[in-house]
Chain A
Amino acid sequence: DVKVTQSSRYLVKRTGEKVFLECVQDMDHENMFWYRQDPGLGLRLIYFSYDVKMKEKGDIPEGYSVSREKKERFSLILESASTNQTSMYLCASSLPVLDYGYTFGSGTRLTVV
């Protein structure tokens, strides 16, 4: 069963901490994405990567960075967590084909206190 795995379902971090959210896919997909999901706002793209070591900013990259050292792994980094980064974070992957759609992970609920 192919899948996208996010390492944590729930995280609680303190303001100012550096936070790492990990995502691993086993489908050999070229593209990987990080979204943030907030009620009433849907999913907003933070960063995406279409190849190893490549990254592109999405709509809301401020306060975040990413790392893709291997094809199967895409990490989201909150350099200094703030309370307004409390949210659900979704990782997704896809083939570089327009009609394929995305495969999503189960999400990480991050709370910054």
Chain B
Amino acid sequence: AQTVTQSQPEMSVQEAETVTLSCTYDTSESDYYLFWYKQPPSRQMILVIRQEAYKQQNATENRFSVNFQKAAKSFSLKISDSQLGDAAMYFCAFEYNNNDMRFGAGTRLTVKP
């Protein structure tokens, strides 16, 4: 069974600083996708970044980047130049078939002005 673990229930960062959210997963599959989703207080979950397992290059989307370590089954999210609008719950997710996406328990990120 595929599992996703986010070991940090809460994190905080000073505005303009950098923060890294951790995620590990367990799978025997070789080809899969990994995602980070953001859920602001307004509650609508939005996709932040995605990574395909067979691509070694780490994905980047503006201030958001990942550190994908396939052998270690690790997929961390780095947020650079943190902004107040980055405050949210962040969920790591794993998908290897189209009908089965697994989510971690989430990390609540607080951004301090």
Contacts and interface: CB of A to CB of B under 8 A. Distances in A.
Interface string A40-72: 111111001010000010000000000000000
Contacts of A96: 98
Interface in A65-96: 88, 90, 92, 94, 96
A98 B91 contact: no
Given A92-B45, A94-B98, A102-B101, 17 more contacts: A40-B105, A41-B105, A42-B6, A42-B106, A44-B103, A48-B99, A50-B98, A50-B99, A88-B43, A98-B96, A99-B50, A101-B47, A101-B50, A102-B47, A104-B46, A106-B43, A107-B43
Interface of A: 31, 33, 35, 40-45, 48, 50, 56, 88, 90, 92, 94, 96-99, 101-102, 104-107
Interface of B: 4, 6, 9, 33, 35, 37, 42-47, 50, 52, 91, 95-101, 103-106
